[in-house]
Structure 1
């Protein structure tokens, strides 16, 4: 991973356009090809980013950008669309690279791991005719919780969370981008399954064609009968 702290402006061009004026920011360049632009606020979410597959080209600034004080122009192009992230770097304050090695993936807490196992045993909750292919299906960036075969022959990747938030949708999106490169299982659609799903996560999932499924932990364990409830 490469970490660059720089005074820069950022423009996103493609299906949508966005502009970040000149400020000091952290630029993350990951081994998977993604580039993320972070500020010192906003928690974990980047201000803008380009998801993999993507290519990065760094060139000297020219024309209007050079006249405005930029020294370099980073052009990050998507490998799937015509989208482009352009970073005009005015001053580099820090630049370092670090080999993080292979990440073992997220170690789930007891409830989350139990949810995954229970859903694998009751995969029909995703829809009639769904069949489990494998739990913890491996990818280059970590295992997908469940890989399921849909009745029409398509493949479904399922990410299971106790609490569904935006970062979980982002995680599943990255898995889907990788899995859909494999002609043996493509096309692959996504299901985001959780006991609770935040409204923002639902909106993002819907925008990316990911279906949301609410899980009832007690019902999955067989200690609660939803049909017997008064409310």
Structure 2
């Protein structure tokens, strides 16, 4: 219990740094951001995100956990402990540097359709996969609950992330869950299923590249309001 408490406390901390910096990423590809003022977000799970004022909500560059940060004078080196990819942040000037305790996050409150999809698929997970059985809804992890934890017909654990619209952010979210769950010898190997009413092509490509199966479901059919015996054009 003490370990769990410490983990929850750690996960609630975030460091925000505004700095004039340049960023160089080295991994499966290389990328460079020239010197400019940017927001650096460092989360307690080890991830780091580099934001600019434009570009909507998406970071310009980032590193997902598990990773480590080495701080030197004027240089931060972030290394992904799994892939070996590196993010080198050269800092010319720090304009702001604060750390905040955010407390225990209550989790995302899903909209009515998304929550109802989860409820319907928990009652009958066979639309996700033939022979699937439910283990638990909102399966807890240190970084948030998995929508559904199931077992397939062979008893293999399957983590299911459910969205109304399947986008890249949802795939990234499920990827983080799978990385964590597969460290548990009582669960591993854990497969992943990304389930939504509509899945964007880019999200599908990313999911399949990571070995995550994509499933689309129809809300009305799950509710039983559509008569599948009637022929349709598509």
TM-score between both structures, scaled by the size of structure 2: 0.89
Question: 1:78 offset after TM fit, Å?
Answer: 1.1
Q: Measure the CA separation in 2 of the matches of 1:5 and 1:219.
A: 49
Name the counterpart of 1:218. Answer: 220
Name the counterpart of 2:19. Answer: 6
CA displacement 1:196-222 (0-9 Å, x = unmatched): 122222222223222111111111011
Q: How does 1:1-231 map to 2 (within 5 A)?
A: 1-60=14-73, 72-231=74-233
Please report the RMSD computed on the Cα atoms of aligned residues, expressed in angstroms: 1.4
Question: 1:151 offset after TM fit, Å?
Answer: 2.5
Q: Measure the CA separation in 2 of the matches of 1:176 and 1:43.
A: 27
Runs (4+) of structure 1 exceeding 3 A deviation are none
Q: Measure the CA separation in 2 of the matches of 1:9 and 1:54.
A: 20
Aligned length: 220
Question: 1:227 offset after TM fit, Å?
Answer: 4.1
Question: 1:55 offset after TM fit, Å?
Answer: 0.8
Which runs of no fewer than 5 residues in structure 1 stay unpaired?
61-71
Name the counterpart of 1:68. Answer: none
Q: Measure the CA separation in 2 of the matches of 1:161 and 1:225.
A: 24
Contact 2:71 2:77 in 1 (8 A): yes
Q: Measure the CA separation in 1 of the matches of 2:214 and 2:25.
A: 29
CA displacement 1:107-163 (0-9 Å, x = unmatched): 111111110011112211122222211110001111100011122332111111111
Q: Measure the CA separation in 1 of the matches of 2:158 and 2:36.
A: 41
